[in-house]
Structure 1
Amino acid sequence: MKKMLVLCACILLPLYAVSAFASDGSWDQVKKNGKLMIGLDDSFPPMGFRQADGKLVGFDIDAAEEVGKRLAIKIEWQPTAWDGVIHSLNAKKFDCIWNGMTITEARAKEVAFTKPYVMDGQIAVINFKEKRFKGLSDLKGVRVGTQKGSSGLEAVKKLPTAPAALKEYEDYPKALLDLEAGRIDVVVIDNVTGRDFIAKRPGKFKTVPGMISKEPFGIGFRKDDRDLREKVQLTLDKMVKDGTMKKISKKWFAEDITNPKKF
């Protein structure tokens, strides 16, 4: 765990340190446009997802809308395929990625992250009636599913035994449908999202005890957009300090998982 925290620190510090460079105009442009365009996978509860009426809701939605309110700009959401979200960001289809995005060394080469705002991890979800798996070490010769382009792909590599088969899905709901139908044995998924699916489908799924990995969430920006990233970061810092992030966290998770001291 200590080694992981040191690694995270080494990756993150140069990414969210306050810049001493001249203004790059990124915040000025967003302010001029009057809106911050955010890319996301809109089927990722409880971070960002659609209600039955089509309304976009979730932890990240509430947090971003509050940032927009404080900066006097509108938040505009741009649903996009997760496996191409970084390419879309750097192609300037939106201004940032705010959607439970795990900070990884590979991603840090392509985007600049804020400080972590949530600590999450990867878990293994199985069919509720499954009795073979008492712990992660029991996941031998299994068929695993996870989302394309997700940190779940890296987590699969950390399983004690390589899977017999690995299937990548456009989104987690499709993976869970295959799990329920018995076409795969395990879904590797973010802890907060997996537990949300389990809570909403009682008697369908359960978790294998243990966490495959622990991962910090950050907001991703283009590397050149230092001003915009710092403006959002400073606003988030104020929201942590005044208790707003804690309030939003308790609404969606029933506990505070945004405390920076935990990281």
Structure 2
Amino acid sequence: MKKIYLFGVLAALMLAGCSGAKTTESTSASQETSKTASESGKAADTDNKNTFTVGFDQDFPPMGFVGDDGQFTGFDLDLAAEVAKRLGKEIKYQPIAWDAKDMELSSGTIDCIWNGFSIQGREDKYTWSKPYMKNDQVFVVKSGSNIDSIEDLAGKKVEVQADSSAEAALKADPDMVKTFDSLQTVADYNTGFMDLDMGGVDAIAMDSVVANYQITKRGGSGFTVLDTPLASEEYGIGFKLGNESLRDEVQAKLDEMKADGSLKTISEKWFGKDVTTLE
């Protein structure tokens, strides 16, 4: 999120000529790529009920990210677009800072968080859809690093995305963390992979879905996922606590997509097989 600071009278006079928001167009969405919190709140107040605004981390492929063409894309975003279409609403993709997601949801800037969002450990903080996909938290290391197990991480530098499920899993196991040389946070996993590749860290703790996608995109041979997962979980769609009405509308459309095969088709597009678990 950009923060606009006013420095004196001249800056105030120039504000009208500045913009804190940048938009790009996709097939079915006007995608807002940058807003201040106050601007976003005002936009939410004026939005009508014909929009469905999805909050997501734009550096979280293959669930939601910026494609080579500069447009937002991803498995979760495709699901959200199909749901919006069936609801008769315009889809809006709103990239958010992951550690500010609760503020975005409570302020009304977004209608839901839909982007590889793990239910476990957050059960009472949101109104949830049914789980639709399974995932593990894993460690990724450089191939040939002689790190073959979690035990080999003793004395090593480990990196994790701030406010992620992997970070929560590590916080729940302080005895493991004590064996590391250090545990540091990073804003997104693209940066994490660069740090790992350059030798700044020895391992990344992250979602297996994202790890496998990132490794494949980088040629498939430079990185390795350790066999033993840190934790197992399920993905769901998180709505503001108490917003059961919108949750039920969205869930009904997801159930339709499961029944008519659309959920499977979108999954096969991104993963080559049906990885969804919606019942």
Cross-structure match for 1:153: 167
| Contact 1:117-1:258 within 8 A present in 2 as well | yes
Question: CA offsets, 1:7-32, max 9 Å, x none?
Answer: xxxxxxxxxxxxxxxxxxxxxx9995
- Residue 136 of structure 1 deviates from its aligned partner by 2.2
Change (3 A) 1:217 1:30: farther
Report whether the alignment pairs 1:136 with 2:154.
no
Change (3 A) 1:192 1:185: same
Corresponding residue to 2:113 among 97, 114, 126: 97
Cross-structure match for 1:44: 60
In structure 2, C-alpha distance between the alignment counterparts of 1:160 and 1:123, rounded to whole Å? 17
Change (3 A) 1:145 1:34: same
Corresponding residue to 1:217 among 210, 231, 235: 235
Corresponding residue to 2:73 among 37, 52, 57: 57
Corresponding residue to 1:108 among 123, 143, 164: 123
User: What is the TM-score when the length of structure 2 is the normalising length?
Assistant: 0.78
Q: Counterpart amino acid of 2:96? A: T
In structure 1, C-alpha distance between the alignment counterparts of 2:162 and 2:271, rounded to whole Å? 25
Q: How many residues align?
A: 231
Cross-structure match for 1:195: 212
Alignment identity in percent? Answer: 36
Larger Rg: 2
Change (3 A) 1:31 1:115: farther
Cross-structure match for 2:224: 206
In structure 2, C-alpha distance between the alignment counterparts of 1:117 and 1:31, rounded to whole Å? 28
| Contact 2:131-2:277 within 8 A present in 1 as well | no
Gaps of 5+ in 1: 1-28
In structure 2, C-alpha distance between the alignment counterparts of 1:75 and 1:94, rounded to whole Å? 11
In structure 2, C-alpha distance between the alignment counterparts of 1:86 and 1:218, rounded to whole Å? 15
In structure 2, C-alpha distance between the alignment counterparts of 1:42 and 1:188, rounded to whole Å? 19
Question: CA offsets, 1:213-232, max 9 Å, x none?
Answer: 11100101112321111000
Gaps of 5+ in 2: 1-44
| Contact 1:84-1:149 within 8 A present in 2 as well | no
Question: CA offsets, 1:61-112, max 9 Å, x none?
Answer: 110111011111111011110011122101111111111100023x233211
In structure 2, C-alpha distance between the alignment counterparts of 1:114 and 1:31, rounded to whole Å? 23
Q: Counterpart amino acid of 2:166? A: G
| Contact 1:97-1:219 within 8 A present in 2 as well | yes
In structure 1, C-alpha distance between the alignment counterparts of 2:57 and 2:161, rounded to whole Å? 11
In structure 2, C-alpha distance between the alignment counterparts of 1:97 and 1:161, rounded to whole Å? 30
Worse-matched range after superposition: 201-210 or 235-244: 201-210
Report whether the alignment pairs 1:67 with 2:53.
no
In structure 2, C-alpha distance between the alignment counterparts of 1:79 and 1:32, rounded to whole Å? 20
Change (3 A) 1:236 1:228: same
Q: Counterpart amino acid of 2:215? A: I
Q: Secondary structure at the match of 2:70?
A: coil
| Contact 1:30-1:36 within 8 A present in 2 as well | no
User: What is the TM-score when the length of structure 1 is the normalising length?
Assistant: 0.83
Corresponding residue to 1:124 among 130, 135, 139: 139
Q: Secondary structure at the match of 1:141?
A: coil
Q: Counterpart amino acid of 1:109? A: D
Report whether the alignment pairs 1:251 with 2:265.
no
| Contact 2:170-2:176 within 8 A present in 1 as well | no
Cross-structure match for 1:172: 189
In structure 2, C-alpha distance between the alignment counterparts of 1:160 and 1:246, rounded to whole Å? 40
Question: CA offsets, 1:163-200, max 9 Å, x none?
Answer: 22111011111111111111111000101100001001
Cross-structure match for 1:185: 202
